[in-house]
Each structure stands twice: as structure tokens, then as C-alpha cells.
Structure 1
Amino acid sequence: MAPPSSTEARTTRAAVKPRKAAALLVLSGTRVLMVKRPNHFSYPGAFVFPGGTVSSTDSSLMHTALRETFEETGLLLSTTPIPMERRRLLSSLQKEVHDGVLSFDKALEALDVTLIPSDDLIPFSVWTTPVGPAKRYETHFFVTRLPSHLSEEAVVGDGGIEVVGTHWLPTERIPAWIRQGKTPMHSAQIYLTCRLAWSLGAGEGWDGVLEVARQIGRVEVLMRRTEEDGKRVENMPNGDKVIYEAGAGSAGKAWVELSDRASL
């Protein structure tokens, strides 16, 4: 059989329907939880927020975000602490949920806890992979705060299955690190962490985060790519831009320009 023509290949790629996914930005003060992907995985070596595709057992996109955060980091965002006598079960239940042999809801029952309410997860924009790649995602981002009964030490990773590092990154330093190429990120992570950095760096606290969420929470992003002075520019629907240094890869040195403020 003859190989498909370039036109047929483009048609096939265009027909790929994005899979729904969810990711969660967890804030502890001015630090945000990020995980680093292994080199053999999607987004190799990049810093991303915990997240993944919707499972048939998920009751909502918020449920997906909370489940994936538990699977990848061990952080269980519950309304109350896990009873002392059940904490020894946490690691094994995380693995069972990750492996798909136990539902997330069953794990919650075994630990005798309930998840934080969905109202605590604030919509923080929706990003869809442009037409072209064989894999496309419609990723719903949410932001929340680390519950007061939990500490940053509750994050333990997943044993190297999907992440090779878990990090609480200080938002005020992330824009400089991205410009220097120290924390490889893709457009969504670059844009959202820089928006957090601006708000939290101005001392606006959680109220500032909520204001950013009010501005971008319902924004649906299908990035439009252009070239300006040799630099790759990803254009947001609201006029903001993610700009990559000339010659930088998809997770290379970059910065954000807001339509109504200076560069980040």
C-alpha cells in the first residue's frame, strides 16, 4: 500500500480529537508545586504541574486533578488529616491508584477522608494542543492552596514512574529561571507561573491569585504561533504573549509579555 500523501497526513492529524485532561497548581505561601518529567516521558525533562487525562472513574475534572496530584506526588488534598492508625496505608494506596488496581474513591474510603470541596479548586484557564501533533489534549488548569493541616513534606513523588522530582518552587524566582533556561517549561506552565509571580510578588496574596483567576480562569487557549525578530511568539487570546529566545526549543529560554503590563 502506498504511504499517505502529505495532504492525507494533514487531514489525519487534523482529525485527532483532543483528550480531556486536568492539572493542578498547588500553592504553599508563594511557592508552587511542580514535578519534573523523566526524559523518556511526554514533555521530557520539563517542569509541569501534577495532572493527566480524565479516567472513566473520575466524577469531574476537579476529581481528575486531585487524583493525578495524589498519584504523582503522594499529596492527598483532604479536608481533614488522615487518622493516625491509617497513615501507614498511604504509600501502598497511592501505588494501587497509580497502577489502576484501586479506584481513587476506594482509597479515600480506606483512609477515612474526604477531598477538599470542588469550590476550593479555582479554574485557571484551559489549554488545547494545536492541530498537528498525534496527541492532543484539552487541559483544564485549576489553582488551590495547600490545606493548613498539610505540610510541604507530604509530597513524596511516585517512585520515578511519571516524575523524577517534586519541587516547591518560589514563584518570585521562576521568571528569571525560565529566562536563563534553568527550569525548562512549556507555554502553559511559563505563562501561568509568571502570572502567579506577578501577583504574589506584588504582595497581593491569595486575593491577587483570585483576581488573576477572574481574568484568565475561563480563557480557552489555542496558541497562535508567529515569528518576531527571529523569536517564536505564542499569542494568547487576551493579547498576552509567551516569547521564546531565538533558537530556543519548545521548552527553552522564554518570558511573558502582558498586554497591559511590562515583561515578566
Structure 2
Amino acid sequence: MSTAAPDPVEPKPAATVLLVRDEPGAGGLQVFLQRRVAGMAFAGGMTVFPGGGVSPDDVPDPRRWRGPEPARFGSWLGQPSELAAALVTAAVRETFEECGVLLAARPGTEPGPLPTTTAWRDALVGRHATMPGLLAEHDLELRADLLVPWARWITPMRNPKRYDTAFLVARVPEGQVADDATTEAVEAGWWSPSEAIAGYAAGDLQLMAPTLRTLEELSPHDTAAEVLDAAARRAIDPITPEVRREGRVVTITLPGDPDWRYEEARS
């Protein structure tokens, strides 16, 4: 007697930020990565870009939005404008919560060194404040113009936890410092894409397929400006990896790129 397969879980909207900079002194491209706490329900122990799920409170005030309109982000990402606005807001919020970088500024100014904002960050993390609320309270504009869409990844249908994730690029503002003061990660820092890929190949870093693929796409670029320029010219098609399991080995491939493979052993 056959049993019908359960309906796939509806993917939750999420945003991930590829925070980039030119390495101080040397000048080569670097990207900010965090190694998540091993016991976390999603991506425990993995090295990832900052990001997370969209909150119901990620509804921006259009009077405090500077940059391309949400409908423009929607056209880039293939999403309704309301959801695109929430994705950009979530990207700004998660970047501030997870690494202390705030992509916002007072009207007529550029983001720069931050005043003491520990209380702002703690309030967000503790869900005692929202990003739109903080922007209004401190007379700040959300700087959507500093974020450029890079990709959109959708978790395969058979997974019990699914996300529809917008990957966006941002250069860390001059004078701001990305840190590791988050309970979600055990360490964080700046890596060149090629160093992170080599660390994965050596078994020193655990990377999910979208992270590895994105690092490979970043690696040909030498500077943050090159990455932002490349992002502005990318055509974004949603990517849903194809998963095949043979014994303990799980193989992930990408539609339209049969030569790319990602393998991992699972219990």
C-alpha cells in the first residue's frame, strides 16, 4: 500500500548579507564569516554569512528608506514589493544584531563610526525593539542603496526546514567594525574567499552548499568595488539545489550546472 508523500514545507523568507571589504593594508577582497554554535537547530557548526529569517516587525517606514524602491528590489529578486522591503529590512537588522554593522544613517549623512549602540543592539536581539522603531527613535534612514542583490536560494522541497533566502552584498561602512559579539556564533572574522574555500577543502571549515557556491563566485574579484559592480549586473534566478542520497553520502547539484557537485556524509 503506497503512502502519499507529505506536502512540502512552505519556505520561510530570509536574508543573508555578504559583508565585504578591502583588506586593510594589503587591499585584497575579504568577506565576513561566522561559525555558528554547534547545537543550533539550523546550520549548527557551519561557517556562514550573517543573516536570518524575516520578522513580522520588518516592515519599513517609507519615510525612512533611502535607495531603490522596494518594487525595484522585488523585480531583482522576483518577489512582491512588500516582501522585498521586509527582506531588505531583515538584512539590515540581522547585520546589526549579528556583527554590529549598521547600514543606516541620519538624513543627509553617510554611515560611519557608531556611537555607543550596545543598548540598541541588545534591544533588537531581545525583541524589545524593532528595526523600524529604532530608526524612528534615533532619526535614521535605512540605507537600502548600500545593499545590492546577489542571489536567491530556496531550500529543496524535501527538507523539513525550508528557507527562501535573498543574498545581498554590502560593503562595511568606513569606520565601522564587524565583531563576534553574538550568541549565535562561536567565532567570526574576515576571510578572503579563496582562503575560506581552501579551509573547506582541508576540512577546517564546514560550509553549506550555497555558502561554498557564493564564495566561489566571489573569488575571481579582487576588491569590494568589483563585487558590488558585478552584483549590479547579475541576473538573479531562484536556485533550488537538487539532492540525492546514496547510503550515508548526500550529493547536491545545481540545475543548469551539472558539473558542480557538493557531497557530505550524514548519519
The interval holding the TM-score normalised by the smaller chain is 0.7 to 0.9
**Corresponding residue for residue 46 of structure 1:** 46
Does structure 2 conserve the Cα–Cα contact (< 8 Å) formed by 1:25 and 1:49? yes
- Select 1:76's aligned residue among 85, 102, 111: 102
Does structure 1 conserve the Cα–Cα contact (< 8 Å) formed by 2:171 and 2:224? no
**Corresponding residue for residue 244 of structure 1:** 262
Does structure 1 conserve the Cα–Cα contact (< 8 Å) formed by 2:111 and 2:173? no
Percent identity between the aligned chains?
A: 27
TM-score, structure 1 length as denominator?
0.76
User: Using the alignment, how far apart are the partners of 1:213 and 1:172 within structure 2?
Assistant: 22
2:216 aligned counterpart, secondary structure: helix
Alignment of 1:35-184 (within 5 A): 35-41=34-40, 42-59=42-59, 60=85, 61-79=87-105, 80-81=110-111, 87-88=115-116, 90-116=117-143, 118-148=144-174, 150-151=175-176, 153-158=177-182, 160=183, 162-184=184-206
User: Using the alignment, how far apart are the partners of 1:74 and 1:240 within structure 2?
Assistant: 39
Count of aligned residue pairs for this structure pair: 228
**Corresponding residue for residue 3 of structure 2:** 7
1:58 aligned counterpart, secondary structure: coil
User: Using the alignment, how far apart are the partners of 1:28 and 1:220 within structure 2?
Assistant: 26
User: Using the alignment, how far apart are the partners of 1:226 and 1:133 within structure 2?
Assistant: 12
Q: Select the structure with the greater relative contact order (CA < 8 A; seq sep ≥ 6).
A: 2
Q: 1:172 to 1:15 in 2, by over 3 A?
A: closer
User: Using the alignment, how far apart are the partners of 2:224 and 2:96 within structure 1?
Assistant: 25
1:176 aligned counterpart, secondary structure: helix
In proportion to residue count, which structure has more helix? Answer: 1
User: Using the alignment, how far apart are the partners of 2:2 and 2:188 within structure 1?
Assistant: 41
User: Using the alignment, how far apart are the partners of 2:154 and 2:36 within structure 1?
Assistant: 20
CA-to-aligned-CA distance 1:211-241 (integer Å, 9 cap, x gap):
36634x512111113589x985432234265
How far 1:112 sits from its partner (Å)?
Answer: 4.0
Alignment of 1:196-235 (within 5 A): 196-200=218-222, 206-211=225-230, 214-215=233-234, 217-226=235-244, 233-235=251-253
Gaps of at least 5 residues in structure 2 are 23-28, 60-84
CA-to-aligned-CA distance 1:112-158 (integer Å, 9 cap, x gap):
43232x2331111111111122211111111111122x34x342422
User: Using the alignment, how far apart are the partners of 2:134 and 2:121 within structure 1?
Assistant: 8
Large movers: runs of 4+ above 4 Å: 81-84, 230-233
Gaps of at least 5 residues in structure 1 are 251-264
Q: 1:76 to 1:109 in 2, by over 3 A?
A: same
Which amino acid in 1 is paired with 2:168? F
1:126 aligned counterpart, secondary structure: strand
How far 1:205 sits from its partner (Å)?
Answer: 5.4
1:244 aligned counterpart, secondary structure: strand
